[in-house]
Amino acid sequence: MGDDDTNRWPKIIPERIVSWSPGRGREISDVVDKKILHAFKGVKSFPLKRIIIQFWRPETIGGKRLLACYGCPYALSLANHRLWKYRSRCIKYYYSIDDLGVPDDPMTISGAPPATAFLNHFPEVVLDLRVHRGTPLVDLALECELTCFMMIPVFSETGCVGIVEVSMRIPADLLVIFNDIKRELKRAGLSITPPRASWQPHKSIGITRGGFTLAKSEIAEALQVAVQSHAVPLGQVWMAYENLYDRTSRMLLGKLNHFCVNLPGDPLSSVEFFYRDLVLLSMKKMITVEGLIGRTLATRQPHLCKNIHKLRDNRGVLAVLSANVKCASFVICLRSSHTGEVNYLFEFFWPQTLDHLALMEALLLTLREHLPSFKYASGARLGDELLVVDVDNSSSGSASTPLKIFPRNKSSVAGRKRTRASLGMETRSIEGQSELTNINDPEGDDDLIILAVYKIDYRLFYLPSSPTYKVFLEKVYQEFDLNPVGTYTIEYQVLPGDWYSLTNGSCLKSCVSSYRTSKNIDYIKLHVRAVEK
């Protein structure tokens, strides 16, 4: 104890750093890379966790359109050798963004993110990489203890300029990182959605300007009243749009309006921030990938999911939310006489502990009052008997027996008032709002962050919250590839200059206790030394 730290502890920066080494000539100017670099520097969340952020941008090599990350900005902790190993291998690979079939180059990957995210102009999320084994970089990510990733398209005024990849260990960190990246890209003059000037209502729906204006006016008023009067944290409306500059005229879902109720300390406020600038969704992805909006649009049937956390088959928007927030979602398709067969998708989020049936009835009755020109997509009037597909969360998103709203059309103003009172909806505060809590998976969380030094080498690694001494030793030996028959001493630091021997389970418990109780320790310092014989 009491040794001078400079004699045993080198200067190490364990936190995530941002780097950029401009490489060979590219199609996109370095201006984009500089903006990406600036954005990455602004992402401050979880600096010590197992997270790598890197940029993939398009280029043409040998007449083929590819995505590459070589020479592009990236952010990681250099003290975590697994992250560095993953990065050093990624720069050798390409992703094909051409429709020229399967490439014959073993270093070129096709039909997988980030290429699909680039082509669809839509974020993609995989919450469990184990289901995608067989792809070289997925196998490498798992080897490097990365278990999930998120691919985010990045846009300038001219179109999609590349993909931001975020690969990490803990899915519960996805939403915070997504919101951070979205905010910092915006500050740098970039966006996660195509520029608004490039899209308009899809030509196939054939609406008139006057009729569309009337429908929008009704929607704006009805959405605000419904969200405020029932204290629903978030409500939004989507409709079909198209990109004016996209030769494929891909149909998109554009946000027509949204309204939220912000309560102090409301965990769902992060969901509202998540959706605030996410104003455009790929129609292709919303229909082909499991999701309430896609299902509702495809079937014209309303859908309810009582806990989006269990919709694990999502790869887009709901995947980010389901990894972080416990809440329910309800989507219904309506049409207005002002715009004919145009479909408007009303989407609401609320705490999963509420009475879903009563809340859906109350919302629909409020919408009926303020949407005089609207009916269900089936043609029935708002307030008529309605069957809602109740998504069965226990069986990978399959549908269970539908819920019946307004059975035999027995609804009344008195009944509506009782429903609202029973839910505590007369004010902007809902009892049970605190149930919207962040999800922490104790089995998967990197609870103990450890920075260890052996000779001139150092490692940033992680252990579960309550490791045994045997597990602890095995991890240390594995990280430094120590001789299994060798003898080593391990010491840990509590305060600067104070080192204590770590020789058994009791010492380990004392070390962990000091780490948990101290507000000034971001990680546990270990010093490993070989015993001379």
DSSP assignment of 97-157 equals: -SSS-S-S-TTEE-SSTTHHHHHHTS-EEES-GGGGTTSHHHHHHHHTT--EEEEEEEEET
CATH fold match for the domains 5-192 and 198-435: yes
Torsion of CA 424, 425, 430, 432, to 10 degrees: 50
| DSSP codes, 333-348 | EEEETTSTT--EEEEE
CA distances from 232 to 104, 223, 226, 264, 347 (A): 52, 10, 8, 14, 11
- Domains of the chain by residue range: 5-192, 198-435, 448-530
Fold for the domain defined by 448-530? Ubiquitin-like (UB roll) (3.10.20)
- For residue 71, the SS3 value is coil
What number of other Cβ atoms are within 10 A of residue 100's Cβ?
A: 11
pLDDT score, position 408: 52
Half-sphere exposure of 421 (CA within 13 A, CB side): 6
Can you read off the two tokens belonging to residue 104?
Answer: 């014959």
| DSSP codes, 239-271 | EEEEETT-TT--EEEEEEEEEE---TT-TTHHH
Pairing of strands 374-376, 344-350: unpaired
Can you read off the two tokens belonging to residue 337?
Answer: 């006489």
CATH number, span 5-192: 3.30.450.40
**Cα 199 → chain centroid:** 24
Rounded to an integer, what distance in angstroms lies between the CA atom of residue 154 and that of residue 213?
Answer: 31
Q: Classify residue 380 by its DSSP letter.
A: P
Rounded to an integer, what distance in angstroms lies between the CA atom of residue 217 and that of residue 345?
Answer: 16
Phi-psi region of 509 (alpha: psi -120 to 50; beta: other; left: phi over 0): alpha
The string over 477-505, giving b where at least 16 C-beta atoms fall within 10 Å of a residue's C-beta and e elsewhere, is eebbebeeeeeeebbbbbeeeebeebeee
Rounded to an integer, what distance in angstroms lies between the CA atom of residue 362 and that of residue 372?
Answer: 16
- Residue 393, amino acid: N
Rounded to an integer, what distance in angstroms lies between the CA atom of residue 93 and that of residue 194?
Answer: 27
Rounded to an integer, what distance in angstroms lies between the CA atom of residue 436 and that of residue 417?
Answer: 25
CA distances from 36 to 24, 33, 54, 84, 496 (A): 17, 5, 9, 19, 37
pLDDT score, position 260: 72
Can you read off the two tokens belonging to residue 530?
Answer: 């070989």
pLDDT score, position 420: 32
**Total-model pTM:** 0.73
pLDDT score, position 418: 33
CATH superfamily name and code, 198-435: GAF domain (3.30.450.40)
pLDDT score, position 439: 33
- Report whether 514 contacts 499 (CB < 8 A): no
Tens digit of pLDDT for each residue in 31-47?
999 999 999 999 999 99
Rounded to an integer, what distance in angstroms lies between the CA atom of residue 249 and that of residue 32?
Answer: 26
What number of other Cβ atoms are within 10 A of residue 419's Cβ?
A: 20
Question: Which parts of the chain have pLDDT scores under 50?
Answer: 1-2, 27-28, 247-249, 285-290, 393-399, 409-445
What number of other Cβ atoms are within 10 A of residue 39's Cβ?
A: 27
Tens digit of pLDDT for each residue in 208-265?
778 888 999 999 999 999 999 998 888 888 887 766 555 444 556 667 776 776 555 5
Q: List all residues 6 or more positions away from 67 whose beta carbon is below 8 Å from its beta carbon.
A: 56, 57, 58, 59, 94, 95, 96, 97, 114, 115, 118, 162, 163
Residue 85: name the closest of 514, 520, 450, 459 by CA: 459
Q: List all residues 6 or more positions away from 287 whose beta carbon is below 8 Å from its beta carbon.
A: 294, 297, 298
